[in-house]
Every structure is written in structure tokens, then in C-alpha cells.
A and B are shown apart, each in its own frame.
Chain A
Amino acid sequence: MANRFCVSLTHAKDNSDKATVAFVVANAALGSGKETLVFLSVEAVRLSQPGYADDIREEGFAPLRELMENFAKGGGTIYVCSPCFKKRKLDENRLVPGAAIVGGAKLVEFLSDGSPCVSY
């Protein structure tokens, strides 16, 4: 059984339901003892900016900001797709805790040991 788990997320405010559930699942993996990565690409890279998730709250779930904070506090890693980030002209000097801007090789490296990956 792989000891790693990846959640790939491509949505932010364009689909706050998917964005929220992605972090709920990531927290489930982290809480189950897996080395867990959330890979943010396309619109999801906006979640790397402090404050962006503050007003995302899906009924029946904890606020997204809280889910993301708990993920980072629990030792989860967030990779932010570099070209997606640059395209949107976001601020690389302001990233949420646990987040790092990376290229595709870092994602490939993480997955190369047989890590499963679910996508939202």
C-alpha cells in the first residue's frame, strides 16, 4: 500500500463545492497517516493567496480556509502549478502556509512511487 496520497484540484470560486471536498478528502488522507499532497492548478492556484478562501463556505462543511489551515498544520503539502500561477499574475511573495510554487517535475516525482491521485 502506497504511503503517499495526492489530491489534484483545478477549481476555486468557479466551483467552491469541489474545492471544499478536495481539502476534506486531503485531510482524510492526512488523518489516516498518509504523506499528503494537494496539487493546485488552473483556477485552484488562486487558493494559494492568503485571504482568497475566506469567503468560501459550503453548506455542511467547515469553511475552506479552516480546512486548508488544518491541512497545513497537520503537515500537508500544497504544490502550486507555476505556469498557472504566472498566467494569473498572482503574488509569489504571499502564499498560504504549506504552499510552494513548483513545476510539473515535482508532481511527477511525488507520484512516481505509486501514489494514488484523486482529481477535483
Chain B
Amino acid sequence: MGIQAEAVWDAGDTGCGELLLELRARLSGLRPGQVFELITRDLGAPADIPAWCRLTGHTLVSQEHPVYRIRRKES
């Protein structure tokens, strides 16, 4: 996989608002530049997680559903 994640969260089949609100909280606990690994089997995730990253400024490092690696933004 290459990149080592600082934290991992298996969100099961959680998606949409329930997922994003919790994801925001978990990302805020990381330092800028650290990578978070999200696992979600939600059917909307392949479209939703990239959109969320564009909205929030975090970087989607890799996307291999159901595994998403997100690098926390600098500020």
C-alpha cells in the first residue's frame, strides 16, 4: 500500500452525514500532513469521499473502495 496511516477507522456501512460528521472529528485529531485510513462500505462513498476532500481541503491519497486514505490539510 506504500503510505502508512496514522489512524484507521472502520466505519462499517456508515455513509453520508453520519459518516462525514464523525470523519471531520477524527481528522481534526491528526496533525497536518498525517494520513488517515477510512474504511466504509457505503455505496455512496466512492463519489462522496472525493467530494468531501475537495470541500474540506484534505487530500485523497488513495481510493480503493472500501479503503480511503486521506492526508490532513496543513491548517
Contact = CB atoms under 8 A, between A and B. Distances in A.
A62 B20 CA distance: 14
B60 to A, nearest CB: 14
B24 A33 contact: yes
Interface of A: 23-34, 61-62, 67, 70-71, 74
Nearest to A60: B13
Contact of A32 (B18, B20, B22, B25): B20
B1 interface: no
Interface of B: 16-25, 52, 55-56
Given A27-B18, A31-B21, A33-B24, 4 more contacts: A24-B16, A30-B21, A30-B24, A74-B21
A39 to B, nearest CB: 17
Contacts of A62: 18
A32 B16 contact: no
B51 to A, nearest CB: 8
Contact of A70 (B21, B23, B55): B21
Contacts of A27: 16-18, 20-21
A34 B24 CA distance: 11
Nearest to B56: A33
Contacts of A30: 17, 20-21, 24
Contacts of B24: 30-33, 74
